[in-house]
Structure 1
């Protein structure tokens, strides 16, 4: 699937997400965490529901890196989720989906995986 055939949903202004923080948005009924990562000069989107806690909290986690991986640490159980692919580094069975994200005309847009 190309970026032209994805269904994009505008979420917020890019300037609304401070560097190295995340926000939560409801995209087509799915809780999505969107992060602005300063070191990568990029935005990332993953499911916001922590699979272990079943709580919508990943957008409030700490953004950082482990080796060459850009991650967010869950604020509840401290599991690390790779922002590129949603993999849970400590427990791969708790991985989440990663979603396509882009910025167009200053607006962050998400397309569900």
Structure 2
């Protein structure tokens, strides 16, 4: 009985671990700028994301790259800023601001972009895929 429980928890841990995808090395990301990347590259689930390394730290945020206002994958080219205590990216086209932590549009409560958990393991950047 214990071996089945161990096997089940090992399988669950492996499944959870498989949702983390190595995207790049931390040093590949410039400070205070965005980089576009493909999550689930070459699969039907492929989606563009934007990775942001901010404030001269090893903190990295991952959001969807799709701007719902301009209907284009451009958020990685946006300008990073702070609005109050909120870190945000401003769309390079129509200038709406999106929270890097929640994805919430700061000008329109009804609009939100995807955000993804990020882990730094050693010098590798991993993003958790849904």
TM-score normalised per structure 1: 0.90
| Count of matched residue pairs | 111
Moved over 2 A (4+): none
Equivalent in the alignment of 1:5: 16
Distance in 2 (alpha carbons) for counterparts of 1:110 and 1:37: 16
Equivalent in the alignment of 1:25: 37
Equivalent in the alignment of 1:44: 61
| TM-align CA RMSD | 1.8
Equivalent residues of 1:52, 1:94 under 8 A apart: no
Match of 1:67 among 80, 84, 88: 84
CA 1:40 to 1:15, structure 2 compared with 1: closer, same or farther past 3 Å?
A: closer
TM-score normalised per structure 2: 0.79
User: Which protein shows a greater Rg?
Assistant: 2
Distance in 2 (alpha carbons) for counterparts of 1:68 and 1:41: 19
Structure having the higher helix fraction is 2
Equivalent positions of 1:97-108 (< 5 A) are: 97-108=114-125
